[in-house]
Amino acid sequence: MANVSSDFRVKNGLIVGTSSLGNITGGAGTFNTSLTAKTLSSIDAFFTGTGSIRVPVGTDAQRPTVQDGLIRLNTTSNQFEGYKSSNWQGLGGVIDVDQDTYISTEKSSDDDTLFFYTAGTERMRLTNAGALSTSSNVTVGGDLTVQGTNLTVDNNLTVTGDFTVNGTNTTLNTSVTSTTTATENNFVITSTDTGAAAAPDLKLWRNSASPADDDTIGNVIFTGNDSGGTATDYGHILTQITDVTNATEDSRMTFKTMSNGTLADRLTLTSTGTLSASGQIIGNVTGDITGNADTATALETARNIGGVSFDGTANIVPTTIVVADTTAAKAYLGMFESATGDLLPKTDANIFYNASTSRLTVAGSVSASGIIYADAFNSVTGGSTIDFNDPIDLAGTLTLDGDIVHSGDTDTKLSFTTDTIRLYGANSNLLTIDGAGNVVGIGTVSTASPSIPTVIEFNNDTTAYKSASATITTGASAALLSIPTASYRSGKIVLQAVAASGGHMDVTELLYIHNGTNVYTAEYGTIRVGTAIGTYTGEIVGSNVEIRVVNGVGVTADFVGSVTMLSV
């Protein structure tokens, strides 16, 4: 039933209601009519019942003559629309004036999907499962956190803040490029695992459905620009499968570098641990080295040894050398020029034997491992013996197998051993020159209660150096270094302590200075392994500054101290 408060006109001129409220009651069926447009005012109308009202339906092209208040269903946009303020506008939801930017619900029965359109084109879709998909680039101005199962972006994703993924796995089905101007920490993988297993790890997985021998399954490429601005691969680290058989798989790893514009294999590590290189391997090598020697059977260039040609294919059988007796004034000794080439006897007059005088004459240096008697030399004073008081006139080298000892004090001597020279005074090793170790050592002290060791003085006694060592039982105190107060004002000490057991050790530096009454110290730069061992102090005892140590580690410990002293 419809309530009418003014005229209601039907086509054949029936008027229901004039100036008072009237009713129209309809029965079953369809009542069709055409109303002539008429300006109405002050009309209130309502419909009752459980049925519906049908509004006009049509396309954009079928829109009627416009006036504010029109309502229709637009089959072009599938939207209810109304006309107001010179525009057809969508009714309900979010939609702009020209109806090409809006949010739409499902397009099929109950698929529970939201569609987002701009300028008439779908840009984004949110499904009933919570999956969000876009058809264009996505730019996030802040942080992006993904806590769901999937994040699907069909085009570019730009995040200007942090990008956090809280899932178990992150899968990228395309290439990933990271561009930065930073010079370090460009790609960091952090693991907070507290276990002993290796973490984090970087895994390159060639997930091939048809793996085969010689497949390259991973390659780390190092690329930079050349002088012409062209991107150039300067190095590769790659791994290849050499056997894909299940349970007997093998592989090799290869390193490539660029040389003269060509990238080539330089180093290869096989599945058996064999290392092969295309160039030189510089440094210490442990183990077997194979190369040309595997197949070599002869020297590249033969050499004559004792008049016999030798190329490595057979043993050397030298010819017999016959030496005849002679009484001539000069009989030459058989010598050889060198260890390579033709080895012919040396026949010059530098070394010869005079049979009539029983003398061996050497025009150059003489070296002997036995005794050389004094009359083998020409004494400058004319005597038949040569001692320390007699100058020796040597044109060459004097070689000794023993020591040079002071005739009146055997504790003062100069000792020679292989590559080493030692100078002793009062049977103390004052100076050691070790040629093999390239070391010059001055002074030695090794006592349980250290005394003043040898002092080395420099620059007219303004700077000096000394050292000492001691073994001190636990809880005991001892003077490790003793330094004259009248000679030296301050110093820098390096102190080392090593416990007899437990693996405890430390090294530290100690500066000291005194004013004649008190000693002031500062300890710094300590490096320690295990428990602290020594406590170091300085005090004046008599006319000396004593650097004392207390052993507090609980076991006996060895202490070594060296000091560089500055004069008063």
CA angle 347, 353, 357 (to 5 degrees): 155
pLDDT at 83: 86
Residue 158 covered by a domain: yes
> Which range among 110-114, 223-227, 275-279, 448-452 shows the weakest confidence by mean pLDDT?
448-452
Beta strands 163-165 and 144-146: pairing type?
parallel
Q: At 398, list the tokens.
A: 């004097």
Question: Is the confidence at residue 296, as pLDDT, over 90?
Answer: no
Among candidate residues 285, 256, 251, the one with its CA nearest the CA of residue 270: 251
CB atoms near residue 79 (< 10 Å):
19
The reply to whether 32 and 134 lie within a common domain is no
Residue 486 covered by a domain: yes
Q: By percentage, how much of the chain surpasses pLDDT 90?
A: 28
370 versus 419: the higher-pLDDT residue is 419
pLDDT in tens, 280-291: 777 777 776 666
Residue 308 covered by a domain: no
188-192 contacts: CB < 8 A, separation 24 or more?
none
The reply to whether 527 and 472 lie within a common domain is yes
Indicate the residue among 233, 262, 279 that finishes a domain.
279
Going by pLDDT thresholds of 50, 70 and 90, the confidence category of residue 316 is: confident
The reply to whether 125 and 223 lie within a common domain is no
468 versus 436: the higher-pLDDT residue is 468
Residue 197 covered by a domain: no
Question: Is the confidence at residue 151, as pLDDT, over 70?
Answer: no
pLDDT at 434: 72
pLDDT at 237: 95
Say if CB 548 and CB 461 are below 8 A apart: no
pLDDT at 184: 77
pLDDT in tens, 13-65: 444 444 444 445 444 444 444 444 444 444 455 667 788 888 899 998 999 98
The reply to whether 540 and 470 lie within a common domain is yes
Q: By percentage, how much of the chain surpasses pLDDT 70?
A: 66
Average confidence (pLDDT) over 71-77: 86
> Which range among 162-166, 222-226, 509-513, 544-548 shows the weakest confidence by mean pLDDT?
162-166
Average confidence (pLDDT) over 332-344: 52
Q: Residue 257 burial (CB < 10 Å; 0-12/13-18/19+)? A: middle
Q: Sign of the C-alpha dihedral, residues 364, 365, 371, 377?
A: positive
Distance CA 91, CA 73 (A): 10
40 versus 176: the higher-pLDDT residue is 176
pLDDT in tens, 199-212: 888 889 999 999 99
Q: What is the mean pLDDT of the chain?
A: 76
225 versus 45: the higher-pLDDT residue is 225
Which range of 126-130, 190-194, 439-443, 536-540 scores highest in mean pLDDT? It is 536-540
Please name the helix (run of DSSP H) or strand (run of DSSP E) that holds residue 359, with its range, or none: strand 359-362
Indicate the residue among 263, 279, 295 that finishes a domain.
279
460 versus 238: the higher-pLDDT residue is 238
pLDDT at 101: 85
* Ordered strands of the 250-259 beta sheet: 216-225, 231-243, 250-259, 262-269, 275-277
Q: Residue 82 burial (CB < 10 Å; 0-12/13-18/19+)? A: middle
Average confidence (pLDDT) over 217-234: 94
SS (H, E, C) 412-460: EEEEEECCEEEEEECCEEEEEEECCCCEEEECCCCCCCCCCCCCEEECC
> Which range among 14-23, 134-143, 341-350, 549-558 shows the weakest confidence by mean pLDDT?
14-23
Say if CB 437 and CB 431 are below 8 A apart: no
pLDDT at 372: 58
Going by pLDDT thresholds of 50, 70 and 90, the confidence category of residue 552 is: very high
The reply to whether 460 and 563 lie within a common domain is yes
Domain tally, the chain = 5
pLDDT at 543: 93
pLDDT at 155: 64
Among candidate residues 200, 184, 202, the one with its CA nearest the CA of residue 192: 200
pLDDT at 152: 64
Domain with residue 467: its CATH number is 2.60.40.1680
The reply to whether 153 and 106 lie within a common domain is yes
The reply to whether 425 and 468 lie within a common domain is no
Which range of 42-46, 114-118, 352-356, 398-402 scores highest in mean pLDDT? It is 114-118
Question: Is the confidence at residue 453, as pLDDT, over 50?
Answer: no
The reply to whether 165 and 222 lie within a common domain is no
pLDDT at 467: 81
Question: Is the confidence at residue 239, as pLDDT, over 90?
Answer: yes
pTM passes above 0.75? no
Q: At 290, list the tokens.
A: 């194979």
Going by pLDDT thresholds of 50, 70 and 90, the confidence category of residue 451 is: very low
Residue 389 covered by a domain: no
The reply to whether 554 and 475 lie within a common domain is yes
365 versus 61: the higher-pLDDT residue is 61
Q: Which domain holds residue 424?
A: 404-434
Residue 397 covered by a domain: no
Q: Residue 61 burial (CB < 10 Å; 0-12/13-18/19+)? A: exposed
pLDDT in tens, 251-261: 999 999 999 99
Backbone dihedral region of 461: left (phi > 0), alpha (psi from -120 to 50 degrees) or beta? Answer: left
Indicate the residue among 20, 37, 53 that finishes a domain.
53
Which residue type is seen at 165? V
The reply to whether 472 and 562 lie within a common domain is yes
Backbone angles phi, psi at 87, to 5 degrees: -145, 140
Q: At 355, list the tokens.
A: 């049979």
157 versus 423: the higher-pLDDT residue is 423
The reply to whether 467 and 558 lie within a common domain is yes
53 versus 153: the higher-pLDDT residue is 53
Question: Is the confidence at residue 379, as pLDDT, over 60?
Answer: no
Residue 367 covered by a domain: no
Residue 67 covered by a domain: no
CB atoms near residue 363 (< 10 Å):
11
Question: Is the confidence at residue 226, as pLDDT, over 90?
Answer: yes
Question: Is the confidence at residue 82, as pLDDT, over 90?
Answer: no
Question: Is the confidence at residue 380, as pLDDT, over 90?
Answer: no
pLDDT in tens, 87-123: 887 776 677 777 788 887 766 656 788 888 888 888 8
